Chain A
C-alpha cells in the first residue's frame, strides 16, 4: 500500500529503494563487467577521459581462460563443493537428532544442554582457530579436506540444532502420540512421523549450512597449505595475488564464479533461506 501523490511516492519509496539497490548490488555489477573487460580497458586511471567504467564494447574471455587454464580454480571449486556438501550432511544429521532430543524429550539436563549448545552457537571461529590448528596438526589432518569437514560442523551443528528445535516445537504432540498408540516405537515415531513433517525446516537448515560452509574462510586459510587442497576463497587470495600485484581480471572472474554456486543454491531455496534467517533470529 503506497498512499499519496506521485512526488511522495518518489521521495519516500522509489528514490531510497533505488539508492539501496545500487549500493547493495553495484559491487556485483562491477565484478561482472571487470570479468569480461580486456586489460587495456581495465588499467586506465580514473581521471582520464578514456575511463569508461560502465560498459565495454570489446568483451573478452581472456580472464576466464587464465582462471581455468593457468590456475587450479576448477579444483578449488570441487574442493569447496565436496567440503560444503559433506560437512552440511554431517551437521544436518547431528542437528536434526539433537534438535529432536532437546525439543521433544524430557530428560535430566535438557535445559542446560540446550543453553550450552546455544552458547557454542555464539562462539566465533576467530576465537579458536589457533589452538584448533594445533589440534588439527596433532590429529594429522592438516592440509586435508577432513580438517575442514570435521571442524565446520562446530559452527553448523549449533545453528542446525537451534533451527530444528524451533521447527520440532511447532509439530503437534498428538501426531506422535497417535503413532505411539498404534504401536510405533519412540524412534519410529520420530523417524517416520516427526522428521518428515519438519522437512521445510531441514531444507532451511541445509541451505543455510551449505552457504555458511561455502563462505568459511579463516579455518580454510589456516589449515590448508598446498594449492590443490585449497577452497575457492583461499585459493583466489593466495594464487591470484602475488605480493602487491593483483590480477584484477582473473580475480573478479574467480569472485564471480566462486559466488555463482551459492547464488544458484540460494535462488532455488530463497523462501527456505529467508525463513532460516528469520528462524535463527526468532529461535
Chain B
C-alpha cells in the first residue's frame, strides 16, 4: 500500500470532524439488515406471484410462452366438473379435519397438561407424526391401507367387524378414500394442536379453576366457562395455521391416492399439479393454484379479524 495510515499513539483524542458512521441511523441500519430478506422474498415470492398471474391469463404450455387470453382459463374452470369437485373436496377436507384436529388435539392437550410419569418422554414421542417427512409417513399409511395386505383390515377382521375377503376398500372407493386421507391428515395435525394448546393451557392460572371448584363448579363447567374462553386466542391462531396448511395440502393426497379414484379426492394443489406438471398445461395449472388465493385470503382475513376481536376484548 502506498498510502499507509499514520499510526496514532494510544490515548490520543482526535478532535474535529466526527467519524462518518452511517449505520448509527436506525433507518439505514434497518435497511441494510432487511436487504437480504427483502431481496430473496421479492425474487422468489413476489416475482413468481406476478408470473403466476401472467401465466393464468395466457395459454402457455411447457416450453412455449402463450398469448394473452384474458380470463378464459378461469372461465373454463368454472365450467369444469372436476374443478367443482375440487372446490367441494377442499372445503370438506379442510372443515372436517380441522374440527377433528381441534377436538382431539384439545383432549390430548388436557391429558398432557396433568402431571404423570414419563410426561416429557410422552410429549416428545407425540410430536413425531408432525416432524417426520409427511411423504414418508404417508407411505406407512398407504401400506396399512393396502387392499390385500392391510393390517387395519386384519384388526377389523379379528374384532369381528369385517368378514374374510370383504375388507374395507380404504383407498379404492371414492368416499372411503376421502375418509382415509382425512384420517392421515388428522393423524399428522393432532400433535401440533395438542402441543400448542398445551402451551396455551399452561399460561392459564390454576387458581381460577380452583376458585371455581370451591364455588362448586363441576369439571366440565370449569372447562367451558374458564379454560375454553381463556384458551380462545391460542386456539384461533392454531386454527389459522392449520386451515392454511390443510387447504393447500398436497403431499398426503399425492401419495395416498394421486387424486383418484376417478378424481374423487383431488384438492386444489393436486389438480393444479396434474394440469400444470402432469399434462404440461402450465396456464391452466397456474389458474387452479391462483384460484386458491382469494379463498385463502378470505379465510385468513376473517380469522385475523376474529383473533383481533378476541384479543382486544
Contact = CB atoms under 8 A, between A and B. Distances in A.
A65 interface: no
Contacts of A153: 40, 44
A95 interface: yes
Contacts of A215: 131-135
A185 B128 CA distance: 44
Contacts of B191: 24
Considering residues B30, B38, B55, B122, which has the most beta carbons from chain A within 10 angstroms of its beta carbon?
A: B30
B41 A157 contact: yes
A217 B135 contact: yes
Consensus secondary structure, chain B interface:
helix
A222 B277 contact: yes
B111 interface: yes
A224 B129 CA distance: 26
Nearest to B282: A130
Contact of B133 (A34, A53, A101, A258): A258
Contacts of A214: 133
Contact of A248 (B37, B143, B199, B290): B143
Given A98-B37, A217-B250, A124 B245 contact: yes
A281 B300 contact: no
B33 A98 contact: yes
A27 B187 contact: yes
Interface residues of B, number: 102
B49 interface: yes
A60 interface: no
Given A13-B111, A47-B167, A278 B134 contact: no
Contacts of B136: 232-233, 236, 254-255, 258-259
Contacts of A246: 142-143
B36 A101 contact: no
A2 B115 contact: yes
Among A127, A215, A232, A282, residue most surrounded by chain B Cβ atoms (within 10 Å): A127
Contact of B126 (A24, A150, A151, A221): A24
Nearest to B19: A185
A186 B24 CA distance: 6
Given A47-B167, A94-B37, A124-B244, A255 B187 contact: no
A160 to B, nearest CB: 9
B234 A282 contact: yes
A128 B116 contact: no
Contacts of B37: 94-95, 97-98, 117, 157, 161
B57 interface: no
Nearest to B240: A122
A252 B141 CA distance: 10
B294 to A, nearest CB: 11
A266 B131 contact: yes
A134 B282 contact: yes
Contact of B269 (A157, A161, A187, A218): A218
Interface residues of A, number: 96
Interface in B2-49: 21, 23-24, 26-27, 29-31, 33-34, 36-38, 40-41, 43-45, 47-49
Contact of B149 (A31, A44, A150, A252): A44
A128 B139 contact: no
A131 B55 contact: yes
A78 interface: no
A264 B195 CA distance: 19
Interface stretch (B75-83, B151-159, B171-179): B151-159
A72 to B, nearest CB: 16
Contacts of B127: 266, 270, 273-274, 277
Contacts of A28: 128, 132, 137, 140
Contacts of B26: 105-107, 186
B135 A233 contact: yes
Contact of A277 (B114, B196, B244): B196
A274 B127 CA distance: 9
B230 interface: no
A95 B125 CA distance: 29
Interface string A105-136: 11110100100010010111111111111110
B190 interface: yes
Interface in A206-260: 211, 214-215, 217-218, 221-222, 232-233, 236-237, 246, 248, 251-252, 254-255, 258-259
A28 B143 CA distance: 12
A1 interface: yes
A280 to B, nearest CB: 8
B116 A2 contact: yes
Contacts of B31: 107
10 contacts: A24-B128, A100-B33, A117-B37, A122-B240, A124-B247, A126-B269, A128-B49, A134-B51, A246-B142, A259-B137
Interface of B: 21, 23-24, 26-27, 29-31, 33-34, 36-38, 40-41, 43-45, 47-49, 51-52, 54-55, 104, 107-108, 111, 114-116, 120, 122-129, 131-137, 139-144, 146, 148-151, 153-154, 157, 164-165, 167, 187, 190-192, 195-196, 199-200, 234, 237-238, 240-241, 244-245, 247-251, 254-255, 268-269, 272-273, 276-277, 282, 285-286, 289-290, 292-293, 296, 300
Q: Lowest 5 CB-CB distances: which A-B pairs, in order?
A: A124-B248, A47-B164, A278-B199, A126-B269, A131-B51
